[in-house]
Every structure is written in structure tokens, then in C-alpha cells.
Structure 1
Amino acid sequence: MSPPGAPIRIALADDQAIVRAGLRALLERQGVDVVIEADDGEPLLAQLATTPVDAVLSDVRMPGVDGIELVRRLRDRGDATPVLLLTTFDDSELLLRAAAAGAQGFLLKDAAPEDLREAIARVAAGETLLQPVSTEPVRARYRYHADDAPTERFSPREVAILRLLAGGYSNKEIARAMFLAEGTVKNYVSAILDKLGTRDRTRAVLKAITLRVI
């Protein structure tokens, strides 16, 4: 890990050179050091063996070793470096596969630059960040007053479960993705509904999105 106050050090993988160049320029302007760069997961894995980083930023879809296989191989060799996967596809199945492989983050490529920087910082700090659905249209449609805000803060695990609920996943699917017992997930969902003061999952997700819990 980088010392407190030091730039975040990341490894970057994307098969398109122009995308890598754009991401590098964007991130370095925001105080993120791209210390490893590759067009495929294979060379990235080789470099990570000798060059530690705070996080990996990788495209999901690449020829050769793709982003999800990259995560799987890292975890198989005992490397717990956080991985944030980027994709142009709003595909909820990818989210489930990424979470199951051991990725800490999943973000659409159309995210705002400041959101990408924040996502990298949060993942590097040990948080889980999953974005299975586009949330701005929901926020534009629904509004809640400050009085409706949850009375208790949500844990990182509860936020991760809320994001999976937003993707339409069942308790069984969430349990599989997060390596939890299905009964444990059911208990988490009940606690989430209580905190949000809602009676069903759909209203909980809508309220969580409009209140920027997710």
C-alpha cells in the first residue's frame, strides 16, 4: 500500500491503446500513478508479480486473458490486490461473474471522471463497489426528503447487497456471489428494509438510489 497522502499506484489493462492513453492522462491529472500498463491480462499478471500496486483497473472484455480471468488468476495465486473492472456493457451477468471471481469493483465506462477516481480510491481502501444499474434516471424520477433518510448507516456489505438487489439478483444468487449462506443474505435484506423503512425490495432499491446510498 502507498503511504498516507501518497498518490494511489495502479496497474491498467485495456486492449485499446487509445483508451489506455486516455485513462492514464485522466487519472494522472487526478493524482493516480499508472505504474503498470498492458493490453492483456497475461503481461499484467507477470508485472504484478514483481511490482506491487494499490489497485488494478482493467477492461472486462479483452482478447487473451480478459478482466474476469485476470481476477481469477490473481486470487488463485494468493494475490489480494483490489481489482476494479470497467465495461461499456450494462450487463448484470458480468457483475455476478466479476463478484464471484473476486473483483472488488465493477463500473461502467461512461462514469464521470471524478466517479472513476473515487471508485479507484474506495476499492484501494478495501471497499466493494458494484454498479449494476444506471441510477441517474431513477434519481430524476423519484425524490425523497431529508426526513426520509435512513436512521442508521449502512455497512459496506449491506451496500454491496443493495447493489446486487438493484441488479435484480435473488437471495440465492447474492449468496453465491458474496460467498454467504442464503439465510445470512435474507437477514441482511431484512435489516436493509428496516433501515430504509420499506416493505419490499423494489421500494428499498429505489429509495437507496434516490438517497445516494448506492
Structure 2
Amino acid sequence: MSPPLRIALADDQALVRAGLKALLESFGDLVVAIEAADGAELIAALKATPVDVVLSDIRMAGLAGPEAVRCLRRDGDGTPVILLTTFDDSTLLLEAVEAGAQGFLLKDAAPEDLHDAIVAVARGESLLQPVATDPVRARYAYRDQDAPKANFNEREIAILRLLAGGYSNKEIARSIFLAEGTVKNYVSDILDKLGTRDRTRAVLKAITLRVI
């Protein structure tokens, strides 16, 4: 049996932290190793206590979530980070991605979705909870000729849409009745066509270019 994933939990509200900790540890395969009231406390704790995933509120008194992620990345700490927010706001999603977070999730997500998101980013995947796409297009002004929609077949577009929904390769394979290895190859081809190295930026660029 695999050891539980170690989680760092950052939120400036003590009751929220307590509730999230109880929820996460109720799954049995997650353990909260760090609790922090803001980004600065989180960064200091991570230097002494390594974890598998950071789960942080995006807005906190003191050092907020995106700023904390930027500090971690500048220090060479690549621990996967999921940022949580109460607000369904595309600008917050962009801020999270640009800071270097691997995941973005609304606080009203189902407990199972939060658990699955943590497991997904721990194994190297990204998760973007679907949000409005117009602000994404406005921020990322890629040229249309960079990757016209005609370069993508129907299967690739379907997979891109599932990637945008935060689905893992295994979940995509189950949804469209393909082998997981085949989906992995499709994802690799999609990243090449979009000129990106990670799934999150591939989705953002695909939205901007109206591929999806």
C-alpha cells in the first residue's frame, strides 16, 4: 500500500483550515503535514518539511497564494500547487497559471473532485476548473497562424476539451474509449502542435486560438 500523500494547507481562516484538514484526512490516503495562515508561513514551513502537494487559498491576508507560488518557483521549489478560490473569475485562473500553479479549483467543488485534483497534480498533471474563456483570449494574444484549428482533427479537439475540464489521461481514455497509451500519444502531439510543454498552457493557447 502506498504511503499517504503529504499535503501543505494554507488558509488565513483557522476554521477553514480545520475543516479542510478533517476532510482531506478522512479519505485515508492524504495527510496534512503543514498548516499555514499565509504564504510567508507556508514558504518557511516548506523549507523544513517537504510535501507532495500544496493546497492554498488564492486570497489571504499577508502573502497571498499566487505570490507564494512565485516565491517558491524562484527558490527552485517545484512542489505542485493547487490554488482554491471562492470566486469563479477567469482573471484569478490566469493569475494562478502565470504564477506557476498546477491546479485551480473553486471552493464549492465536491470533496471527491478536490481529492482527485490533489492526486492528479501529485502525479504531474494539471487541473483547470472550467471558467469563462473571453478573458483568456484577451490576455493571450497568440497569432491565428500559430496553430489554426484546421491543424487539429476531431479526436484531438475532443481530447483538448477534456484536458480543459481537468480530466486525466485515464479518465479521457475511459470517456472516448481509447487505450490510455493512445491518449498519452495524442496529448504529446497536441502539445507539439501548440508549441507548449505542459497541458495547462496548451489549454490556454487552444482557447485563445478558438481551437476549443
TM over 0.5: yes
Q: Determine whether 1:29 maps to 2:20.
A: no
3-state secondary structure, aligned to 2:55? strand
Alpha-carbon distance change, 112 to 66 in structure 1, aligned in 2, over 3 angstroms: same
Rounded Cα–Cα distance in structure 1 between residues aligned with 2:98 and 2:157: 30
Alpha-carbon distance change, 26 to 50 in structure 1, aligned in 2, over 3 angstroms: same
Show the counterpart of 2:83: 85
| Aligned residue runs from structure 1 range 172-183, under 5 A | 173=140, 182=142
What is the CA-CA distance between 1:167 and the residue it aligns to? 2.5
Alpha-carbon distance change, 119 to 193 in structure 1, aligned in 2, over 3 angstroms: same
Select the residue among 119, 122, 137 that pairs with 1:170: 137
Rounded Cα–Cα distance in structure 2 between residues aligned with 1:115 and 1:92: 19
Query: Residue 10 of structure 1 contacts residue 57 of structure 1 at CA under 8 Å; is this kept in 2?
Result: yes
Alpha-carbon distance change, 49 to 190 in structure 1, aligned in 2, over 3 angstroms: farther
Q: State the one-letter code of the partner of 1:194.
A: E
Query: Residue 90 of structure 1 contacts residue 132 of structure 1 at CA under 8 Å; is this kept in 2?
Result: no
Unaligned runs of 5+ in 1: 134-165, 176-181, 199-203
Alpha-carbon distance change, 94 to 39 in structure 1, aligned in 2, over 3 angstroms: same
Show the counterpart of 2:68: 70
3-state secondary structure, aligned to 1:111? coil
Rounded Cα–Cα distance in structure 1 between residues aligned with 2:130 and 2:85: 11
3-state secondary structure, aligned to 1:61? coil
TM-score (norm 2): 0.68
Q: Identity of paired residues, percent?
A: 56
Query: Residue 171 of structure 1 contacts residue 185 of structure 1 at CA under 8 Å; is this kept in 2?
Result: no
Q: Determine whether 1:39 maps to 2:4.
A: no
Q: Determine whether 1:117 maps to 2:115.
A: yes
| Aligned residue runs from structure 1 range 1-214, under 5 A | 5-30=2-27, 31-133=29-131, 167-168=133-134, 169-170=136-137, 173=140, 182=142, 186-187=146-147, 190=150, 194-195=154-155
What is the CA-CA distance between 1:184 and the residue it aligns to? 9.9
What is the CA-CA distance between 1:23 and the residue it aligns to? 0.3
Aligned residues: 165
Unaligned runs of 5+ in 2: 173-202, 204-212
Rounded Cα–Cα distance in structure 2 between residues aligned with 1:6 and 1:97: 32
What is the CA-CA distance between 1:5 and the residue it aligns to? 1.3
3-state secondary structure, aligned to 1:49? helix
Rounded Cα–Cα distance in structure 2 between residues aligned with 1:171 and 1:190: 22
Alpha-carbon displacement from aligned partner over 1:15-68 (angstroms, at most 9, x marks no partner): 011100000000001121000001111111001011110010000000110000
